[in-house]
Homo-oligomer: A and B are copies of this chain.
Amino acid sequence: MDLLPNDDEMALTDVVRRYLSDRAPVTAAPPAPPTPEMWKEWGELGWFGLAAPLEFGGGGQGIAQETLVFRELGRVLLGGPLVATVVAAQVALAAGDQQLAVSIIAGERQVAFAHSGPSGITLIDGACASHCLEIGDHAAVLRSVDVAELVERPCADLSVTLHVGSPGPTVCEVALDHYDARSHALVLVSAALVGMAEATLEQSSSYAKVREQYGKPIGAYQAVSHRCADMATRADLAAMQTSLAGLSLDARTPDAAMQAVTAYLAALDAGVANAADNIQNHGGIGFTIEHPAYRYATRASVLSRLVVTKRAALDLLLPPV
């Protein structure tokens, strides 16, 4: 049992982190959705199939390793339907549509999450998506989608797009019993939230050392320092549980699905609460669009509705009788 990265895994983290700090550092202004060119580049970096078999262009590693990458992507609030795309590749593989899987893994297609409702589907972050993925209670369904035919709505997170309308036909459908798309998605969302919780902790902690009020750095006040201590505790709890959940899915342990839901609950709490505390620690500048702090709060809000809500997650952990 080892929840910390080994040397290879630390190298993986480093490569991703260096690429992102170079190419996609977090900004106060919401960035535009990733272009198909950028997406292709990320596919070449292996982000969409790290846990997929080598023969389909995947990385042949595990979901545990994917969580390390997604922590980094979360840390800088990288845009685009990253989680849905990774999971969609596995759905396609599980359904036997290897060609689709290969093109997704290669970064040639974006797949966005969709939620069905009375007025059709809502596509989250699907501005450039060719397909959409909906995870129901029993199965994951992959459909084609033509974004041009959907109506755009403004999203609470302006770096995320929302489209409403009708999807195209079903391309493949895989029972969760066969491939647990929900758990995979929850663990990747958790990893992104962990990265966000860590990033906001770092922002608060750095700011508390330099921002002065009443002639002292604000980090010398327990009101601030103890809030930071709670942020650190939440982030560590969520990070460790997310690693454990990733490893559990890879090992197909009997409790893997429960571990994934638990990771999501811990990471959601850390992502949401740390984002709010980070805004609080920054004071006025924290709730303006001139500092990235607010984007962690709006992104956490989106992630809290990407796969299942918190209450639905609790219901998975202890179902209604």
Chain A contact residues, CB within 8 Å of chain B = 221-223, 226
Residue of B nearest to A226 (CB): B223
Write the nearest CB–CB distance from A105 to chain B, whole angstroms.
49
Which applies to chain A's interface (DSSP): helix, strand, loop or mixed? helix
Cα distance, A226 to B221, chains bound together (Å): 11
* Residues of the B chain whose Cβ atoms lie less than 8 Å from the Cβ of A222: 221-223, 226
Q: How many copies does the complex hold?
A: 2
Residue of B nearest to A223 (CB): B222
* Residues of the B chain whose Cβ atoms lie less than 8 Å from the Cβ of A221: 222
* Residues of the B chain whose Cβ atoms lie less than 8 Å from the Cβ of A223: 222, 226
5 contacts between A and B (CB under 8 A): A221-B222, A222-B222, A222-B223, A222-B226, A223-B226
* Residues of the B chain whose Cβ atoms lie less than 8 Å from the Cβ of A226: 222-223
Write the nearest CB–CB distance from A232 to chain B, whole angstroms.
16
Cα distance, A245 to B307, chains bound together (Å): 44
Cα distance, A201 to B295, chains bound together (Å): 39
Cα distance, A226 to B226, chains bound together (Å): 11
Write the nearest CB–CB distance from A178 to chain B, whole angstroms.
39
Write the nearest CB–CB distance from A234 to chain B, whole angstroms.
18
Cα distance, A222 to B222, chains bound together (Å): 6
Write the nearest CB–CB distance from A186 to chain B, whole angstroms.
30
Residue of B nearest to A221 (CB): B222
Write the nearest CB–CB distance from A126 to chain B, whole angstroms.
37
